[in-house]
Amino acid sequence: MADHDLCVTRVPIFQGLTRREQIEVAGFARPMAVAKGETVYAPGQPVSHLLVMHGGRLKISHVAANGQEQILRMAGVGDVVGERAFLTGHRPDHFAVALEDSRMCVFDHNDLSALLRDYPDVGRRMLRTLSDRLASVERLLAAVTSSDVTTRVAAYLLDLPAGGRDGVPVVRLPMAKKDVAAYLGTTPESLSRSLAVLAADGVIELRGRRDIAVLDAEALDRAAVPA
């Protein structure tokens, strides 16, 4: 089995394991493939499991009583979805929908005890991942409560996974700007203005429609703090 075929190698909570242990952990998983537009799970369904993204993208969202959709996050290759349901055995309270043809590995809650008994480091890393995600949510929440759109945009950019070359981090917007704007509680026009302000200040550089180079991470971090 090649590394690129073993989805657990892509996820931080499994990267502390040896190659042999990763193969054994992969034995707990079952593969799943979904087509673009397909609902992977919906609120209330009996699907207490963890999804490890191997290819494609999922949109995680909540639908309010008035029918308005609130995007919670996007999940791409290497991300995990459904940690709460996996750990507690509770049914999900949100939707997971494929934005493109996607592949994933699925770990069922019923296997959790055996998995954590044999590989306790997985549990510690899972808690660390949840802690990091909570810190991210708290920072974004603090920014969203600010009336300054640039603060919200800066906090959002800081929490996107970075790639890039030559020592310059590059983040990619995981969805269209209109959806990013809706996620941040603003308009596409205000989002574009805030990105332009950060670019004019030399904090970021816009590269195409979705790629953004972070030229000054410290300045971006300062911009993410509400005044």
Above 50 in pLDDT, residue 1? no
Distance CA 22, CA 3 (A): 10
Q: Which domain holds residue 175?
A: 147-223
Same domain (yes/no): 104, 9: yes
Q: Model confidence over 198-218: pLDDT tens digits?
A: 999 999 999 988 899 999 999
- Domains contained in the chain, number: 2
Assigned domain for 92 exists: yes
Position with higher pLDDT, 6 vs 156: 156
- Are 140 and 155 within 8 A, CB to CB? yes
Q: Model confidence over 167-202: pLDDT tens digits?
A: 889 998 988 888 888 888 888 999 999 999 999 999
pLDDT for 141: 64
pLDDT for 27: 83
- Are 203 and 161 within 8 A, CB to CB? no
Assigned domain for 179 exists: yes
Above 90 in pLDDT, residue 160? no
Q: Which residues contact 188 (CB under 8 A, 6 or more apart)?
A: 177, 178, 181
Same domain (yes/no): 132, 165: no
Task: Please give the model's pTM, rounded to 2 decimal places.
Answer: 0.64
pLDDT for 4: 41
